[in-house]
Amino acid sequence: MPGLLLAATKSRPILWDTPLGLEVLWYGLVGLSVLVFLYGVARPLARYRRGNRDGLPPLREVPARFWQATRKVYSQAMIARRNPAIGWAHRGIFYGWVVLAIGTVIVALSHDVAQPLFGAGFYDGNFYLGCKAFLNLFGTALILALLAMMVRRAVVRPARLDYARPDRAPGEEGAERRGYRVGDWAFVVTLLVIALTGYLLEGLRIAMEDPGYNAFQFGGWLVAQPLAALGDPTLAALRHGAWWFHGLLAITFVALIPYTKAGHMLSSYASMVFRDPLAGKRLAPIPPERADAPAGYGTLGDFSALHLLQLDACTKCGRCHEVCPARATGRPLSPRDVVLELGEHSRHPRGDSPGGLLGGLLDAGGAAAEEGAIGPEAVRAETVWSCMQCNACVEACPVGIEQAPIINQLRRRLLEEGELDAGLQATLQQIHKSGNSLGQSRRSRGKWTAELDFEVKDARAEAVDVLWFVGDYASFDPRSQRVTRTLARVLHEAGVDFGILYEGESNAGNDVRRAGEEGLFEMLAERNVEQISACSFNRILTSDPHSLNTLRNEYPDFGGSWTVVHHTDLVLELVEEGRFGALAPLHHRVTYHDPCYLGRHNGTYEAPRRLLELLGCELVEMPRNRDNSFCCGAGGGQIWITEQGGTERPSENRIREALELQGVDLFVVACPKDVTMYEDAIKTTASDGRLRLVELTELLDEALARGPVAAA
């Protein structure tokens, strides 16, 4: 090996045998490429400046956010989630591109900076050999990863990479979005050709010069073998042609990054830096200074700078499209298509912009600001109302786009303009009147306690350890009332000092807000904060994940900061403390549904599963579980909407998934709305004899030897 290393000068010529005139031309083209790139970066920045600052983090948080985003980008963890093979392929493309780009910068610094300033470059010797080895290794990884992705697109053809839109009929203009397919293929093919022509150049040089350290540039050595017989004149001509083709393609690719799919390398990183970590879990209030302006997003000019950025950050990966329960059940909604549609409109050129390059830059996005965000040629109203606000899209997005909050802002405008379902409108009106979504008298909210053989404290009148915020369905729905009374008995038996607000409690407002009625939500929040703040307690309990979410994540904006727990967490705590003594093992074979607002929104996955284990149940997971759980269809006000459309209800889709599990006889839930939705779905799918719904508290009640759940 030492003899091999000394066989030739350990370096390679830069701009080999290029006349001065062509060198000047080359550097001029490089400069032009940089200018085109910078213009492409500056133009969207000018557009973002037109947006408001809602959702942007305080400056003190930005350095830490940059570090967190950088870690995510370089780990590629968000890409690898739920599909490790795709994660590794994307790592090959990402790191291959990064290393080759660094190699190009090193060459430029050596040849164009160090050599003119100091008389000698540094791209030689063992440093050069080490660079060549790294470039060959990562260049090979780039090529293999690109080929794998191309095979996936051309042969495997996963549904989420199909751009057919659920909100457009087949044959309707824009329904197929074929242009995006062309852009995707242009991106991967261009990268592949750049990498392959790099190896071709290396092979041509080796065939001509045989430098003697081929082990460090194995890719080029392989290419050189069939070329060696061509002779130096032919090789020299090929080398010149390949050099210019490779170089021009590379600088053209760089220049076009901001204008093509490759632009996500910039915008997606920025999106990850500035996104709200509680996106969807905590919706943005209407700022006081805009209280008199139309609510939500009606035109692109209403959008926040953050959301305008995120419209550009979409990588078109289709992960949000794949997990959306509305799309999966035949409704005209794909979060991806909403983002792409709005992004297309936000980049709409201004017809009457000032002339010239500078004028166009200064006016970037001016016409787009007046573009309507909702309408037949934009995002349609039925698309907006199909969303369940389950946050599956936000959870799945690898670049931090806030699809659900954007859709919520569109809803606010539709609701203000009176474009909403009659059933939803009636429910919102009765919530305003009675404080609950079922239109019951306020004084009957605590009526469920009458069948108990003990008195439930009024937390407004005496101090309690646990303040139980019961929620609408748990208070009024007959099936859920059974669960509520069971939980009350469980708490009483465990010696928990608890009380409720009785008629002092109002709807928490979680789904009111997600239906777009911000004013009513604020009224409910202020009323509940006032009632709760007047009580003396240590923590709040709720069995309703929807109430849990808004009490925990949104009420702090209204002065209500408390410790809020779900009943599965508290019951697990009581069981592990031994408050109930020995539990009878149940030996049921069950499956468990993760509620959207308990799981994805608030990260509670293990407490229900640990309870099932302690109760002696065998848990069989559905394919879609934990943060990939499927929505029951109730969220975002959908439970109040009469005309929902689609090929089936999400709850029916979920029950069919559970029925495919072998030997499962119980479908376990931990949410009052799930009780309602899945009880009905079991009936409408004619599954009564094969699957039975049970709330987790009812299983504990059975284990306490009060008899089987069916006897309730």
**pLDDT value at residue 217:** 76
41 lies in some domain: no
Q: Which domain holds residue 542?
A: 424-711
Q: What is the mean pLDDT of residues 553-574?
A: 97
pLDDT in tens, 491-500: 999 999 999 9
Residues 572 and 499 in one domain: yes
Mean pLDDT, the chain, rounded, equals 91
Better-scored residue on pLDDT, 211 or 683: 683
23 lies in some domain: no
Residues 411 and 485 in one domain: no
33 lies in some domain: no
32 lies in some domain: no
81 lies in some domain: yes
Residues 506 and 398 in one domain: no
Candidates 555, 304, 515, 524; CA nearest to 404 is 515
Confidence check: pLDDT of 639 > 60: yes
**pLDDT value at residue 682:** 97
Candidates 628, 682, 625, 627; CA nearest to 651 is 682
Confidence of residue 222 (pLDDT cuts 50, 70, 90): confident
- Tell me the residue length of the chain: 712
Q: Are 208 and 233 in contact (CB under 8 A)?
A: no
State whether residue 330 is helix, strand or coil.
Answer: coil
Confidence check: pLDDT of 529 > 60: yes
**pLDDT value at residue 1:** 36
pLDDT in tens, 64-100: 999 999 999 999 999 998 899 999 999 999 999 999 9
Q: What is the mean pLDDT of residues 517-530?
A: 98
Confidence check: pLDDT of 546 > 90: yes
Candidates 592, 596, 623; CA nearest to 608 is 592
Residues 197 and 112 in one domain: yes
Q: What is the mean pLDDT of residues 172-180?
A: 85
Q: Are 639 and 596 in contact (CB under 8 A)?
A: no
Query: Considering only 91-95, 499-503, 706-710, which range has the smallest mean pLDDT?
Result: 706-710
Q: What is the mean pLDDT of residues 416-429?
A: 96
65 lies in some domain: no
Of 205, 239, 272, the one marking the end of a domain is 272
Of 366, 384, 416, the one marking the end of a domain is 416
pLDDT in tens, 657-674: 999 999 999 999 999 999
Residues 428 and 391 in one domain: no
496 lies in some domain: yes
pLDDT in tens, 322-359: 999 999 999 999 999 999 999 998 987 544 443 343 44
Residues 567 and 637 in one domain: yes
Confidence of residue 703 (pLDDT cuts 50, 70, 90): very high
64 lies in some domain: no
**pLDDT value at residue 252:** 96
Residues 311 and 441 in one domain: no
Q: Measure the CA angle with vertex 336, ends 414 and 372; round to 5°.
A: 35
Of 272, 307, 338, the one marking the end of a domain is 272
**pLDDT value at residue 359:** 41
Residues 410 and 435 in one domain: no
The structure's pTM equals: 0.92
pLDDT in tens, 568-589: 999 999 999 999 988 999 999 9
Q: What percent of the chain has pLDDT over 90?
A: 77
**pLDDT value at residue 350:** 45
Q: How many Cβ atoms from other residues are within 10 Å of residue 377's Cβ?
A: 11
Query: How many angstroms separate the CA atoms of 440 and 352, rounded?
Result: 56
Residues 122 and 200 in one domain: yes
Which CATH number covers residue 355? 1.10.1060
- DSSP state letters, 152-177: IIIII--GGG----TTS-TTSTTSS-
Residues 241 and 386 in one domain: no
Residues 310 and 370 in one domain: yes
Confidence check: pLDDT of 444 > 70: yes
Domain count, the chain: 3
Amino acid at 687: S
Q: What is the mean pLDDT of residues 17-45?
A: 93
Residues 312 and 263 in one domain: no
Confidence check: pLDDT of 10 > 80: no
Helix segments in 257-332, DSSP class H: 264-274, 305-313, 319-323, 325-328
